Amino acid sequence: MVTAQMVKELRDRTGVGMGDCKNALVETNGDIEAAIEVLRKKGIAKAAKRAGNETSEGKIKIVVEGNAAYVAVVTCETDFVARNETFEEMLTAFIEIRKQSATDAEALEKAEALKASEYTLKVGENLVIKTLSKVEGDVLASYVHSNFKNGALVVAKAGTDAENLKLVAMHVVASQPLVCRPDDVDAEFVAKEREIALAQMQEDPKNAGKPADILSKIIEGKMAKLKEENALETQPFVVNPDQKVRDFIGAGNVVSFQKYSI
């Protein structure tokens, strides 16, 4: 009996679409190794040998159209492949698939099938689709660094200047904030940092004899600074470090942001 788990394992190992994987498993009575051989003989699974290869190169593509943005992040084995026309053609095809699909999951399944049937064979390398998604919002702006390995997408409230928001997206890539605003910083993260800061202060001879309430105030000041340093709105703006990001784009205007990296 061919199970969904068997189909998934064969797809993970070969990069071939689910339909072809299932057919090969049926043909071989569920023998995965034999199914791989069947797929290779058909010329479908040329990448079966490469499926486990590390994919540390790749490319990020973000397309913003009105109130929607489409993101494709795909990794490969070499920079040579990431930079060629076929790879860009593939990313464009994946973006089109996402536009025409109802959900990210549906788009990913279709893109995986296209990757296996066409593009893995063309480039001859292991290809991994890391992200294929759609993001909606009133105002959207993106930035992808010149190496195509780091990018960001920012969503803002209606009325926000789209061109200015592009600079904020660039800031996100450069400064790597964790959250939009200081109060959004994870409480457990802050608690752990507070614990570490307290231990460090207690080990410092200069703090010997200082009242507990003084140490507490110092630590709370450190935690406030920590949250500001990790929040987009309160970081010094990369274009003009003399002002905070919120002073440039408007406090509360940024709704969310996504970071992408290879």
Strands 139-144 and 150-156: antiparallel
pLDDT of the chain along its 262 residues, tens only? 889 889 888 877 776 778 888 999 999 999 988 988 888 776 665 555 555 567 789 999 999 999 999 999 999 999 999 999 999 999 999 999 999 999 999 999 999 999 988 888 788 888 999 999 999 999 999 999 999 999 999 999 999 999 999 999 999 999 999 999 999 999 999 999 888 888 888 778 887 777 878 888 888 999 999 999 999 999 999 999 999 999 999 999 999 999 999 9
pTM of the complete model beyond 0.85: no
Name the phi and psi angles at 209, rounded to 5. Answer: 90, -10
Q: Which residues, listed in sequence order, are joined to residue 131 by a DSSP beta bridge?
A: 73
Inter-residue contact 128 to 75 (CB < 8 Å)? yes
Task: Give the Cα separation of 257 and 230 in Å (integer).
Answer: 13
